[in-house]
Structure 1
Amino acid sequence: MDAVVTTFSPRPAIETVREAPPRPSREEAEAAVRTLIRWAGDDPAREGLLDTPKRVVKAYEELFRGYGEDAQAVLAKVFEDVGGYDDMVVVKDIPFHSHCEHHMVPFVGTAHIGYYPAEGVVGLSKLARVVDAFARRLQTQETMTAQIVGAIDDALKPRGVAVIIEAEHMCMSMRGVQKQGASTVTTQFTGVFRDDPAEQARFIAMVRGFR
C-alpha cells in the first residue's frame, strides 16, 4: 500500500511579493547548463550534448512560465447570470506538474477545486489555468495549495473555497529516502468549508466518488 503524507492548512497564506533579481541573458543561462553538465561528469562539447544547453533553456521557458502569468487576470471574467444556481461547483482531477523549490526536481499530481458561488461563477477552464499558473514555478505543495485558494477567494469572493492536491515528489522517490509511490496530500478550506465539517465531507465525497 502506498504511503500517504497528509498536510492540513487552516487558512490561505498571503503570497509575499518580492522583487525578482535581474534576469540573466539566454547566453548566461546556457553557460550555466554547460557548467552543470561538467559538474555531473560529462563533456558539454560532446556531440550529443552540444545543443543540450539551448534545449534546457527552452524547456525552462515552458516549465516555469507561471512566473509570467497572473492568476487574478485569469479569473477576471466572472459570469453573474447563473440561472439561480447557488450550490457547489467542483472541478476535480486537474493534472499538473511542478518543481520542488528545494531540489528543482519535479512533483506531479492532480488538483481538486470546489467553491460555493456568491457573486457569480468563472469559466471552468480558468480554474485549471490557475493551477498551472502556480504549478509552473519553483514550489512547495503547501504553498501552491494556499496560493490557489487565495487567488479564487480574492477574485470570486465565494462563500467558500476547497482545494485538495495530491502529488508524488521526485525528490522523495528519486533521491534521499527513495520511496516510490508515496503520495502527499494537502488541503485548504475557507468560508463554509472551513466552518462546516459536513461541507468538507461533501466536497471530499464528490472528489472521491463519481469516477
Structure 2
Amino acid sequence: MDARIINHDNSSRLRADKFVSVTDEQARPSREEAEAAVRTLLRWIGEDPEREGLLDTPSRVAKAYSELFSGYHENPEDVLGTTFEEVAGYNDLVLVRDISFFSHCEHHMVPIIGKAHVAYLPDGKVVGLSKIARVVEIFARRLQTQESITAQVANSIQRILKPRGVAVLIEAEHMCMAMRGIQKQGSSTLTTTFTGAFNEQPELQARFMTMIRT
C-alpha cells in the first residue's frame, strides 16, 4: 500500500478551524433551488430527471447533503466547552485512536474515507472522550483536504482546551484518486500535526506513533 506523509506544525492557522455558518440567509439558495441544481446535473450527464427512478432523486440528494455537510453549522467550542478537573492528578497522554470518518474532497466533491488518531497532554483538565471524536466529525463534514482536517482538529483542541500539546494523525483513502484520474485503489495518505510539547519533545511524537501502531 502506497502512503504519502505530510507534516504540519501549528505555525499557521488553516482556514475554517473555527465556527462556520451562513450568516446571511438571503445568500443561501433555497431547498427548491438546490433540487433544481440536481436536476440540471442529471440532464448534464445524459439522464432524464423525469423518469420514474429519478423523480425523487433531487429531494433525496438535498436531504443527504444537509447531513453530509452538517459540519458547517456546528461549533467545536460548543463540543469542547465542558471539561473535568477531577482527574486524580492524571497529566499523561490521552489518546483516542481509530476514529472512523468520511469527508468529501473540496476539489471533486467525492469521498475521503479514513481514520483519525488524536492525542493531547492535559493541563489540569480533561474532556469527554466522545468529544474528541465529535470534533473530527465536525471538520470532516465539510468540503475538505486531508491536510486541512488534520490541522483544524489539532488547532481547535489546542486553542479551546489549552493542553500542553496535541498530536493528530489521519490516514485516509481518497476516491478522487481511486475512482477517477489515476484510478489507483488502495493508496493511502498520512498527515500529521503536532503542537506544544509534541513539537518540543521528539520522544513524545515517537511514543504517540508507537501507541497508535501497538
TM-score w.r.t. the length of structure 1 is 0.95
The residue that corresponds to 1:30 in the other structure is 35
The residue that corresponds to 1:73 in the other structure is 78
1:102 aligns with 2:98: no
Q: In the TM superposition, what is the alpha-carbon distance from 1:156 to its structure 2 partner? A: 1.0
Structural mapping, 1:6-85, within 5 Å: 6-11=5-10, 13-16=12-15, 20=22, 22-85=27-90
For residues 143 and 16 of structure 1, the distance between their equivalents in structure 2, rounded to whole angstroms, comes to 8
Q: In the TM superposition, what is the alpha-carbon distance from 1:72 to its structure 2 partner? A: 1.1
2:5 match: secondary structure: strand
1:204 aligns with 2:209: yes
Q: In the TM superposition, what is the alpha-carbon distance from 1:119 to its structure 2 partner? A: 3.0
Give deviations 1:84-114, integer Å, cap 9, x for gaps: 1010000000000000000000000000000
Q: In the TM superposition, what is the alpha-carbon distance from 1:206 to its structure 2 partner? A: 0.4
1:190 match: secondary structure: strand
The residue that corresponds to 1:89 in the other structure is 94
Q: In the TM superposition, what is the alpha-carbon distance from 1:12 to its structure 2 partner? A: 5.8
Identity %: 61
Structure 2 spans left out of the alignment, 5+ residues: none
For residues 185 and 93 of structure 1, the distance between their equivalents in structure 2, rounded to whole angstroms, comes to 13
Q: Out of 175, 189, 202, which is 2:194 matched to? A: 189
2:192 match: secondary structure: strand
The residue that corresponds to 2:181 in the other structure is 176
2:29 match: secondary structure: coil
Question: Match of 2:187, as an amino acid?
Answer: A
Q: In the TM superposition, what is the alpha-carbon distance from 1:81 to its structure 2 partner? A: 1.1
- Kindly report the root-mean-square deviation, in angstroms, between the aligned alpha carbons of the 2 structures: 1.3
Structure 1 spans left out of the alignment, 5+ residues: none
Question: For the Cα contact (< 8 Å) 2:170–2:190, is it kept in 1?
Answer: yes
1:164 match: secondary structure: strand
After the TM superposition, which segments of 4 or more aligned residues of structure 1 sit over 6 Å from their partners?
Answer: none
TM-score w.r.t. the length of structure 2 is 0.94
Aligned length: 208
